[in-house]
């Protein structure tokens, strides 16, 4: 997951810098690693001001997408698991994963009903919601790569 990966990469960067032995190791590999760490930190700093706002925006888009898809399933007589409706987990990353898992479950459910016009419409709406969420995250990635 993109957002969790940022934290992992920052942690690895810190460990690498902590164990840096510049005086002892001065080869091309160490120089390349240092350039990569510098690029990573520069890219994260470029998106930091927008990171949490975009994460919230993406979660809102996914939440609304899941809500509408769950309503479409129920309106057409399908039983939607409670976990598919999403929850209000206090951990934002857990909530993000729950939203994505709920959407995945509905995609499978709608594909089972694929011969129905309403299921095709629901799948199209899910794809649109996922594309909107990816667009929000893509703005961050673009900002990182531009730095």
Percentage above 90 pLDDT, the chain: 58
Q: What is the pLDDT of residues 8-24, one digit of tens each?
A: 888 888 887 777 666 55
Least confident range from 1-5, 36-40, 73-77: namely 1-5
Residue 76 pLDDT exceeds 60? yes
Q: What is the pLDDT of residues 27-41, one digit of tens each?
A: 787 788 888 888 889
Residue 5 pLDDT exceeds 80? yes
- Yes or no: say if 62 and 79 are a contact pair by the CB < 8 Å rule: no
* Lookup: tokens for 140: 């961050």
Number of domains in the chain: 1
Least confident range from 61-65, 91-95, 124-128, 129-133: namely 91-95
- Yes or no: say if 102 and 80 are a contact pair by the CB < 8 Å rule: no
Structural domain of residue 8, as residue ranges?
A: 2-146
Residue 87 pLDDT exceeds 80? no
């Amino acid at each position: 997951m993109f957002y969790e990966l940022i934290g992992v990469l920052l942690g690895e960067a810190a460990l690498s810098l902590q164990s840096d032995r510049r005086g002892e190791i001065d080869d091309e590999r160490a120089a390349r690693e240092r350039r990569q760490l510098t690029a990573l930190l520069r890219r994260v700093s470029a998106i930091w001001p927008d990171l949490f706002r975009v994460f919230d925006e993406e979660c809102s888009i996914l939440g609304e997408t899941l809500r509408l898809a769950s309503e479409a399933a129920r309106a057409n007589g399908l039983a939607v698991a409670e976990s598919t409706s999403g929850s209000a987990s206090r951990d934002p990353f857990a909530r993000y994963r729950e939203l994505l898992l709920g959407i995945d479950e509905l995609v499978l459910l709608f594909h089972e009903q694929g011969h129905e016009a309403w299921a095709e419409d629901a799948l199209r709406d899910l794809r649109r919601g996922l594309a909107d969420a990816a667009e929000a995250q893509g703005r961050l990635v673009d900002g990182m790569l531009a730095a």
